[in-house]
Structure 1
């Protein structure tokens, strides 16, 4: 296979019913972009997710599967996929089907149009399915904006396109995926946004509740605030090279040169 222009990283845990439909949608969305690969990171599933992925791999050379033997969380799964990715651009998308892959080309286009100084294009959901989830998002994003001075309306959206080299320099911790805009900005890169639409799950049920995220989220927020405060200046580094001078010809007593 030729080197892909885009790697789509999909973290999953116990999403057997969503695997094949979502893969088909990603393929349809990314086909106009040229060569691409899909990396599913199975975060220790104990349902039929591994079997569904194996069946999909049998007919798709562009599909790669990475498995965590034990569950390590969504941020760890995204990181495993990013480290294994072969493309300079990485699209991340949740494995439950709530993120619509049809928006991936728009995110890629917005990132490329912004130029190399832009490190991330983040999706911003124009609506959330379900009043309780919408309330959760408003509370969480409002607190993040106030504490981190981050203009991003929806940092929790799983649909993002990031430059791989930028992602790999971000400080890693659990829940990194929820703070990527602030941390990319911390590294001196700009962030652009594209509005996307949320939709119901294709299958299964959510694994998260409000209080599961709340207390851990407060600690994560404090940690990210500290990281941003500690970053004083982003080094603009470049390598200095000097053209080697041609070797001088030295005359010998016999008149020859060496």
Structure 2
């Protein structure tokens, strides 16, 4: 399977734009968008409108999926699934955790762990990706600014019990933002990438339980006609230790929350 380690891209600078962040819990499920929105301005003709600079575009959720196997909490009785849209939608189960059950627009959270595979002794064979998508309609030859927030934390609140998780933000084959938790010399399960590995691959290390960090990048739609653009958040959950195979019980994963992106028209190209 492909992992963010195979994606090369420069890290974007942190913006100071304000974004409203949402949170609630959601069970693993595919959530289909009801339709792809047009831009917020009523003057869209498929060509860049210089007078629309600064206007916010409508955004629709696409789907979210886990691959190649199921998330652990989906298999264990008595465990609330905690991965999905925030707030929960389309029948997702909803459980809240104090501090992250924020109101307002929908974002996404990846809090579940890798599938519990007690029959396997090699955690390097069980990486898993969770992908969440948003869509917007871009006009021809137009630059857009895209903003979102991130919050990160260790599973069980403990770096020594948490395997690595990271997130890559992309449009098509172009990568714009790469974020992961810093483990800052804490041990990781065998096969997990280290902080040095991640920074070498262009990831930003974000401190655990810090306040939300706002991130921003520009996207140029250079096509000569209007097009639907898919904005993709790909979370990679690296291998955990099966129960009983590690004295520190490192069978949980880092947690990552992202806010609903805000897409704003910028310049005509």
TM-score bracket for this pair, using the shorter chain length = under 0.3
Q: Which has the higher contact order (CA 8 A, sep 6+)?
A: 2
Which structure would you say has the larger Rg? Answer: 1
TM-score, length of structure 2 as denominator length: 0.26
Which is strand-richer, 1 or 2?
2
